[in-house]
Amino acid sequence: MLVHGPTSRAEIAARRQLSRPTLSRIARQLVDDGLLAEGGTELRSTTGRPSELLHVHGAARHFFGVKLTGDHLYAVVTDLTAEVVASLDTPLRSAAVAEVVGQIAEAASTLRAAFPDLTAAGVTLAGTVRSGVVHGSAYLHWSGVPLAGLVAEATGLPTAVDNDVQALTAAEHWFGAGAGLRSLVLITIGVGIGCGLVLNGELVEGAHGTVGRAAHLVVDQSGPVCDLGHRGCAASYLLNESIVRALGATDYADAVARAQAGDPAARRVFGDAGFALGIIIGTVANLVDPRKVLLTGDGLPLYELAADRVRDGIAKSYEPDPAQLDLGVRAFDFGEWARSGAALAIRAALTGRTVSLR
Ligand SMILES: [Zn+2]
């Protein structure tokens, strides 16, 4: 019901293959606990009779979500339906683990003044995460950090930690533009390049916490060299820093401004980056055949500047009819990434996958 919205008992019984008495007992319990409410009716298409709807009572629970970047903390509180009800953000004082955990606890404490009933916490960051342990984080330079346990200890909240792209993909699949879809690809561009996958209705988690690596697909073997030494891979064109380097710009905003002003060199560099993005989208879509592809990230100005070249890259790589590729763009906002931390907390709390204090 979190994913599909208000639903009739008959529909839930059919979808979950539950007997009516079993469903009635479960629904009664959830209504008594304040998690579900009854209200509204819809006409059942099969019988034409009105059917009462159950819906999630969002305000029944609250969740704390955090997104960490290399130098910033973004925090939100959401209700049970992942609706943001409070937010704050603050620069990190340092990247030291104890200091960052302390700042997470401070943010939780501040937000708890208005929402003392927090149920669980979810923290997301770029990097490799397995079972609540951060095994590698390029921007914070962490390795082997048991972050879920540390945050649980510092906040007293059951806590889940995941890679930020994985968490955002799952949030879009439960509460966003991909709600309830059987298959979904989310691609993020900007400081990094990420790729999250939903297949057969489930987030693909991989065996080692490194699923969805698509940044280094080769686009043109005579192209520039990326930090890993590949010639002409997508990252060598597409990363914000690749664009800045190719133009000798002061920063990404400067590069975007030059392209917007019509500078021919800037238009070409953004065009090449757009083509590389199209190759990633087309190649991943070939593998997955997704219902939808969502594009987001701090590098989205690239798509606005070079959408035609993105389409060229898709046409070059995607084998089926491009008309069946449903590409959507999700505006970039760090608050949205923090919300996906809260969505992670909701999912983990419901599936018993948080880390708690013993
Ligand atoms: Zn590369």
216 CA → ligand 1 middle, Å: 4
Options 3.30.70, 3.40.50, 1.20.120, 1.10.10; CATH of 7-59: 1.10.10
Token digits of residue 55:
């819906």
- Domain spans in the chain, listed from the N-terminal domain onward: 7-59, 61-170+335-351, 179-329
235 CA → ligand 1 middle, Å: 5
Q: Calculate ∠ Cα 225-192-274, nearest 5°.
A: 65
232 CA → ligand 1 middle, Å: 7
Q: What is the mean pLDDT of the chain?
A: 94
Average pLDDT over residues 336-352: 95
**276 closest CA partner among 229, 212, 231:** 231
233 CA → ligand 1 middle, Å: 5
266 CA → ligand 1 middle, Å: 21
125 CA → ligand 1 middle, Å: 21
Query: Residue 51: what pLDDT?
Result: 74
**312 closest CA partner among 322, 324, 299, 320:** 322
**104 closest CA partner among 119, 123, 85:** 123
The Cα 263–Cα 242 span in angstroms is 17
| 179-329 and 61-170+335-351 share a CATH fold | yes
Query: Residue 211: what pLDDT?
Result: 92
195 CA → ligand 1 middle, Å: 15
Helix (H) or strand (E) holding 97: helix 97-112
**178 closest CA partner among 157, 206, 197, 159:** 197
Position 358 pLDDT exceeds 60: no
Strand partners, 90: 73
Mapped onto helix, strand or coil, the DSSP state of residue 317 is helix
Position 309 pLDDT exceeds 60: yes
Q: At what angle do helices 301-317 and 252-260 cross, to 10 degrees?
A: 80
Query: Residue 52: what pLDDT?
Result: 82
Strand partners, 76: 65, 87
Query: Residue 46: what pLDDT?
Result: 62
Contacts of 173 (CB under 8 A, 6+ apart): 3, 179, 180, 181, 184, 198, 203
**152 closest CA partner among 354, 4, 319:** 354
Which tens digits make up the pLDDT trace of 42-58? 665 566 666 789 999 99
Query: Residue 14: what pLDDT?
Result: 86
221 CA → ligand 1 middle, Å: 11
224 CA → ligand 1 middle, Å: 9
219 CA → ligand 1 middle, Å: 10
Is there a contact between 197 and 204 (Cβ–Cβ < 8 Å)? Answer: yes
227 CA → ligand 1 middle, Å: 7
267 CA → ligand 1 middle, Å: 22
315 CA → ligand 1 middle, Å: 22
Query: Residue 49: what pLDDT?
Result: 67
237 CA → ligand 1 middle, Å: 9
Options 3.40.50.150, 3.30.420.40, 3.40.50.10140, 3.40.50.970; CATH of 179-329: 3.30.420.40
241 CA → ligand 1 middle, Å: 13
46 CA → ligand 1 middle, Å: 55
274 CA → ligand 1 middle, Å: 16
The Cα 22–Cα 26 span in angstroms is 6
Three-state DSSP string of 27-56: HHHHHHCCCEEEEEEEECCCCCCEEEEEEE
Separation in Å, CA 346 to CA 12, 108, 132, 332: 20, 16, 15, 22
The Cα 77–Cα 80 span in angstroms is 10
162 CA → ligand 1 middle, Å: 24
326 CA → ligand 1 middle, Å: 27
Q: What percent of the chain has pLDDT over 90?
A: 82
229 CA → ligand 1 middle, Å: 6
321 CA → ligand 1 middle, Å: 28
- Own/partner pairs for 320-324, CB < 8 Å, 24+ apart? 320/286, 320/289
DSSP 179: T
The Cα 337–Cα 56 span in angstroms is 23
Query: Residue 8: what pLDDT?
Result: 87
193 CA → ligand 1 middle, Å: 11
Which tens digits make up the pLDDT trace of 104-129? 999 999 999 999 999 999 999 999 99
Position 11 pLDDT exceeds 80: yes
Q: Calculate ∠ Cα 166-125-99, nearest 5°.
A: 155
217 CA → ligand 1 middle, Å: 7
Query: Residue 47: what pLDDT?
Result: 64
The Cα 261–Cα 305 span in angstroms is 11
Query: Residue 195: what pLDDT?
Result: 97
The Cα 82–Cα 343 span in angstroms is 6
Neighbours of 136 (CB within 10 A): 16
Average pLDDT over residues 304-316: 96
The CATH architecture of the domain made up of 61-170+335-351 is: 2-Layer Sandwich (3.30)
22 CA → ligand 1 middle, Å: 54
Residue type, 154: A
Token digits of residue 169:
């993909």
Which tens digits make up the pLDDT trace of 246-263? 999 999 999 999 999 999
